[in-house]
Amino acid sequence: MSNYHIKHLEEYFQVYRKSVRHPEKFWEEIAEEHFLWRKPWDKVLEWDFTKPEVKWFQGAKLNITENCIDKHLFSHGDDTAIIFEPNNPDEEALHISYYELHKRVCKFANVLKSKGIKKGDRVCIYLPMIPELSVAMLACARIGAIHSIVFAGFSSSALATRILDSDCKMVITSDGSYRGAKTIDLKSIVDAALEKCPGVENVLVAKRIDSDIKLKEGRDEWLQPLLDEAEEDCKPEMMDAEDPLFILYTSGSTGKPKGMMHTCGGYMVYTAYTFKNVFNYRTGDVYWCTADIGWITGHSYIIYGPLANCATTVMFEGVPSYPDFGRFWDIVEKHKVNQFYTAPTAIRALAKENIEYIETHDLSSLKVLGSVGEPINEEAWHWYNDNVGKKNCPIVDTWWQTETGGIMISPLPHSTPTIPTYATLPLPGIQPALMDEEGNELEGYQVQGKLCIKFPWPGMARTVWGDHERYKDTYFSAYKNKYFSGDGALRDNVGYYRITGRADDVVIVSGHNLGTAPIEDAINEHQAVAESAIVGYPHEVKGNALYGYVILKEAGASRKHENVRKEINQLITEHIGPIAKLNKIQFVSGLPKTRSGKIMRRILRKIASNDTDSLGDTSTLLNPEVVEEIIENSLNK
Ligand code: PRX
């Protein structure tokens, strides 16, 4: 029985049972069979969720880039590793072979070394979806530097917060980026951020756009001349399996973003294993994930998972609407994509457009379709299945998180019968638990509760960078001896899981995790604002959109509301980025609060969702009268 390419449901159950009964043996077999270790482990697993501490493959030595690149050179060096599809369809796509990738990564790694970057140093990467991004992250991994990639849509202040939090010595960026018809001046965002980050010694700038930017002397340098000069070979740094590989920030419901830290060995094994099984990837297939590498989906399933499997992975610089809404299908046809992985928000946006955008393209290469980032609603699922997959491609609705490193619950193509809106069954090695309000595990079927995982898996994050207490509080304190995901879920009568959404104040907008507290902090900086509360409400395309309730100070009340609305969104754009802008802003005289002063977001969420029939008892509130007023003036009636 192979742990890979599970062919039918019975085989899945066999593999799953084995993985639960003998987890260490299960993962050890996978790790032994498919990877290049320079020294074997002394112990497969050591764990204690109360500390919490998790160590996989302790004592082993490896370098993930040897597994993602060098290992393939002998027999697959000429195969394409990365297909870069530029924003502008008239610009030629670039096919980077494994040989070429090796050369580029080594050269880049040597440049990093020449700038004094060493094992354990943090390097911030703030780049658009251009080949330099993939090469930069792998170059860091090659020399054991810890990459911290910040999505290039984040504002300068969000970038600064992340650079400071992990004390990055270097920033790698570009002069600018293309997104559809827009050109974005990335370098000036970096310059603004760096005013607050004195610890950054070097900035390497890739050239992407036709611009005339200024480099700061002594700090900034163009990347290309350095690469041209660099040696073509770079010995990989030997890493302990538990050494950090990267930090990636994710929003929490409160406080600053959390730098989730992933380690080399377990993350590699987990992303590679899940990639191969979930997408049923076969040698020669062309796989495309439309995410940005700035998010975990891009880390795990554009770069590390696919490359560890010697796959051909597509990297797309642009947006689905440029030059028209047929762009995705154009790319699928052009590169004969076999596995296509995207987010429900993209599916919903494309489903609104003329069906001709699809019908004029040959999508017959497609074999598996994936969905990630938020629950996929039934309508979007059917549209995807009927029009993109032509009812011929299994849809894998993959549930996972930045924290989990890789896919946790998902159908396996041709094994798991799919049902729209269900992520279905846990992958081998994953032991979910649903918990009730009292903290008891719900056994059996047809139950609904908070989704936890009760046994470690190799891909899980090991800590929050610089704040292990926060890691413990957020994920391991709600339920004893369990990892709490922050999501709610139900298990149906056959054991399928359906994710019901976040159980905290994180809102998923267009598949992006947004904590409400940092947005409120940004709004409250407006001089006319006294207090605010943000909630999510269902939105046709974005899945959820943000609704802000804002109390103005006395002095602000006379100002034009439209102006204040614009200024509020401007502030949010500056502090976080345009992705966090509010769709609706309602000015209110008060916010419903409990007697202890806590804002009752549950009530605000219901009003924003126009679901005011089930508000529950509001009489115990400190200010019940305000609820009537808010309903009366609601913008979502
Ligand atoms: O609420 C879940 C939702 O996205 C959250 C994780 O967000 P992030 O860390 O940004 O990672 C996104 C990409 C893995 C989860 O807590 N989520 C993710 N995938 C699904 C989902 N909700 C429902 N169904 C999914 N397939």
Point out the ligand 1 atom lying closest to the alpha carbon of residue 291: 13
Ligand 1 midpoint to CA 399 (Å): 6
Mean pLDDT for the chain overall: 95
Point out the ligand 1 atom lying closest to the alpha carbon of residue 403: 9
Ligand 1 midpoint to CA 485 (Å): 10
Q: Is the pLDDT of residue 1 over 60?
A: no
Residue 2 pLDDT: 65
Q: Is the pLDDT of residue 530 over 80?
A: yes
Angle between helical axes of 156-165 and 186-194 (0-180°, round to 10): 50
Residue 110 pLDDT: 98
442-455 pLDDT, tens digit per residue, is 999 999 999 999 99
Going by alpha carbons, the residue nearest to atom 12 of ligand 1 is 373
9-23 pLDDT, tens digit per residue, is 999 999 999 999 999
Ligand 1 midpoint to CA 401 (Å): 5
Q: Is 400 in the pocket of ligand 1 (CB under 6 A)?
A: yes
Ligand 1 midpoint to CA 486 (Å): 10
Point out the ligand 1 atom lying closest to the alpha carbon of residue 502: 1
Q: Is 373 in the pocket of ligand 1 (CB under 6 A)?
A: yes
Q: Is the pLDDT of residue 338 over 60?
A: yes
Mean pLDDT calculated for residue range 174-192: 97
Mean pLDDT calculated for residue range 151-172: 97
pLDDT band at 620 (very low <50, low <70, confident <90, very high): confident
User: Tokens for 164?
Assistant: 């400071």
Residue 560 pLDDT: 84
Going by alpha carbons, the residue nearest to atom 21 of ligand 1 is 374
Under DSSP, is residue 503 helix (H, G, I), strand (E, B) or coil? coil
pLDDT band at 616 (very low <50, low <70, confident <90, very high): confident
291-337 pLDDT, tens digit per residue, is 999 999 999 999 999 999 999 999 999 999 999 999 999 999 999 99
234-256 pLDDT, tens digit per residue, is 999 999 999 999 999 998 777 78
For residue 56, give the H/E element and its range.
strand 53-58
Under DSSP, is residue 625 helix (H, G, I), strand (E, B) or coil? helix
Mean pLDDT calculated for residue range 536-545: 94
Mean pLDDT calculated for residue range 368-376: 95
ipTM of the complex: 0.99
The sign of the dihedral angle between the CA atoms of 320, 324, 325, 328 is: negative
Ligand 1 midpoint to CA 187 (Å): 30
User: Tokens for 445?
Assistant: 């079927």
For residue 323, say if its preceding peptide bond is cis, omega within 30 degrees of 0. yes
Q: Is the pLDDT of residue 548 over 80?
A: yes
Q: Is the pLDDT of residue 77 over 90?
A: yes
Are 584 and 545 in contact by the 8 Å Cβ rule? The answer is yes
Of all residues in the chain, what percent carry a pLDDT higher than 70? 99
Q: Is 250 in the pocket of ligand 1 (CB under 6 A)?
A: yes
Of all residues in the chain, what percent carry a pLDDT higher than 90? 89
DSSP string, 83-99: EEE-SSTTSPPEEEEHH
Ligand 1 midpoint to CA 622 (Å): 35
Q: Is 502 in the pocket of ligand 1 (CB under 6 A)?
A: yes
Q: Is 398 in the pocket of ligand 1 (CB under 6 A)?
A: yes
pLDDT band at 555 (very low <50, low <70, confident <90, very high): low
Mean pLDDT calculated for residue range 486-506: 93
560-580 pLDDT, tens digit per residue, is 888 999 999 999 999 999 999
Residue 505 pLDDT: 84
Q: Is the pLDDT of residue 117 over 60?
A: yes
Ligand 1 midpoint to CA 398 (Å): 8
Q: Is 399 in the pocket of ligand 1 (CB under 6 A)?
A: yes
- 537/556 Cα distance (integer angstroms): 27
| Residues forming beta bridges with residue 463, ordered by sequence position | 261
- What would the 3-class secondary structure string for 124-172 be? EEECCCCHHHHHHHHHHHHHCCEEEECCCCCCHHHHHHHHHHCCCCEEE
Mean pLDDT calculated for residue range 412-440: 97
Residue 4 pLDDT: 80
Angle between helical axes of 131-143 and 98-114 (0-180°, round to 10): 60
- 586/566 Cα distance (integer angstroms): 13
Ligand 1 midpoint to CA 402 (Å): 8
Going by alpha carbons, the residue nearest to atom 26 of ligand 1 is 399
Ligand 1 midpoint to CA 512 (Å): 8
For ligand 1, mutation pick of 154, 400, 404, 409 (most atoms within 8 Å of CB) = 400
Mean pLDDT calculated for residue range 333-348: 97
Residue 637 pLDDT: 80
Point out the ligand 1 atom lying closest to the alpha carbon of residue 400: 14
Residue 515 pLDDT: 86
Q: Is 251 in the pocket of ligand 1 (CB under 6 A)?
A: no
Name, in order, each residue with C-beta under 8 angstroms of 605's C-beta and a sequence gap of 6 or more: 535, 536, 537
Q: Is 327 in the pocket of ligand 1 (CB under 6 A)?
A: no
Q: Is 449 in the pocket of ligand 1 (CB under 6 A)?
A: no
Residue 556 pLDDT: 60
Output b/e per residue, 162-187; b: 16+ Cβ within 10 A: bbbbbebbbbbbbbbbbbeeeebebb
Going by alpha carbons, the residue nearest to atom 10 of ligand 1 is 513
Going by alpha carbons, the residue nearest to atom 2 of ligand 1 is 374
9-62 pLDDT, tens digit per residue, is 999 999 999 999 999 999 999 999 999 999 999 999 999 999 999 999 999 999
Q: Is 459 in the pocket of ligand 1 (CB under 6 A)?
A: no
- 31/379 Cα distance (integer angstroms): 40
